[in-house]
Amino acid sequence: MKYYLIAGEASGDLHASRLMQCLKSEDKDARFRFFGGDLMSAVGGTRVKHYKELAYMGFLPVLLHLRTIIQNMKLCKADIVSWQPDVVILVDYPGFNLRIAKYLRRKTRIPVYYYISPKIWAWKEWRVKAIKRDVNEMFSILPFEVSFYEERHHYKIHYVGNPTVEEVAQFLEGYRETYDTFCHRYGLDPQKRIVALLAGSREQEIKDNLPAMIEAARACCGPQASFQMVLAGAPSIGQECYSPYLAGSNVVKVDNETYSLLAHSTAALVTSGTATLETALFNVPQVVCYKTAVPRLARWGFEHVLKCDYISLVNLVAGREVVPELFADRFSVPNITNELSKILPNQPARDAMLRGYEDVRTLLGHAVAPQNAARIMVSLLRQRATGRI
């Protein structure tokens, strides 16, 4: 069968590439055409556009590149119609993908599957109307989305498991480096434990969060202390972004080794995002830190505009506060220092958090998300081809 996939950013490229590999194992005749990245290209098929030509975020960048965005949209629509795939698989990236879904419903009979739901439960919940109307099947990687879609909006979806669970498990299964060896590679003291700093994957996040993280962690990571700070460098961020904050500090930075760092960490300060879930799956107690502009207004917006109770995936999955969330008006160096001190070894809050992580793992389950999704997708498409659905 012919599969047309659309991924608009680096994370989408990763998840789509793994889905493509699994589709190939379920369908030996699978053929691919896609908007995506290098990881998808490595699996095979024809790349029409690289996601870097699509990924404009924020009002001003979108406005400045509006003509390019419109041209890419037209190209995508025309290319799908010309190739006539058996299915179009959208991967997150809702601003672009939901417009493609709307067009396909109106102009074609090509089914639309969505792998990794947009986070409409947090923002722009009205988009659920378009999803119910234009998307044939939704494949979710977050268990709480089942009740959101099925109970709140009466739209049946497939929870296929969370890919981060498998990614972390696979890493740990094959990781053999000792703590002493890791410390030796980066000039760290093997007699001291590591406090990891995961300051985000975007420049603005790093500028906003890293200085306070470093200052807060200094209390327990000074020259005479038994802990040391290690920063996880984001893959797409250059050293020049970090240098102003690391100069004169005792922070060691490691690049492209976030999983290795977490495997050896005692505690972590983490900017909200997938990193919070990864940290939990490595069983590393954490404090979630996220600075916002106009903190009081941001707090008001969170409590009155956003439709969710938490900002971290750990708490969202658990449905309760497992990890402290210090954002908006709660983001401050004293607050971060205080919460960090509570999760260091031999502290009661640490044990309570680790018990909460067990609940999160149970809720996420152990299904291999891309393999599960591929199996269901191929089954549905074969039923469709034989007229059974």
Tens of pLDDT, residue by residue over 282-312, are: 999 999 998 876 555 555 555 545 566 898 9
DSSP β-ladder status, 265-270 and 286-290: parallel
Task: State pLDDT tens for residues 305-356.
Answer: 556 689 899 999 999 999 999 987 888 999 999 999 999 999 999 999 999 9
- DSSP notation for 231-266: EEE-TT--HHHHHHHHTTS--EEEES-HHHHHHTEE
State the first-to-last Cα distance of the chain, in angstroms, to the nearest integer: 17
| Residues forming CATH 3.40.50.2000 domain(s) in the chain | 2-161+367-386, 166-364
Separation between Cα atoms, residue 31 and residue 333, nearest integer Å: 52
The CATH superfamily holding the domain 166-364 is Glycogen Phosphorylase B; (3.40.50.2000)
Q: Which residues contact 232 (CB under 8 A, 6 or more apart)?
A: 196, 197, 198, 199, 253, 254, 257, 258, 261
Residues constituting the chain = 389
Give the chain's count of helices (H) and strands (E): 18, 13
Q: Which residues contact 299 (CB under 8 A, 6 or more apart)?
A: 328, 329, 330
Contact 15, 32 (CB under 8 A): no
Task: State pLDDT tens for residues 55-112.
Answer: 554 444 555 456 677 888 999 999 999 999 999 999 988 989 999 999 999 999 999 9
CA 221 to chain centre: 29
- Specify the pLDDT at position 3: 98
- Specify the pLDDT at position 295: 54
- Specify the pLDDT at position 304: 44
Give the angle 314-319-325 at the CA atoms, nearest 5°.
50
Tokens of 380: 């549905």
Separation between Cα atoms, residue 57 and residue 98, nearest integer Å: 16
- Specify the pLDDT at position 306: 57
| Model confidence, pTM | 0.87
Average pLDDT over residues 167-192: 95
Architecture of domain 2-161+367-386: 3-Layer(aba) Sandwich (3.40)
Produce one character per residue of 334-354: b if its CB has 16 or more CB atoms within 10 Å, e if not.
Answer: ebbbebbebbbeeeeebeebe
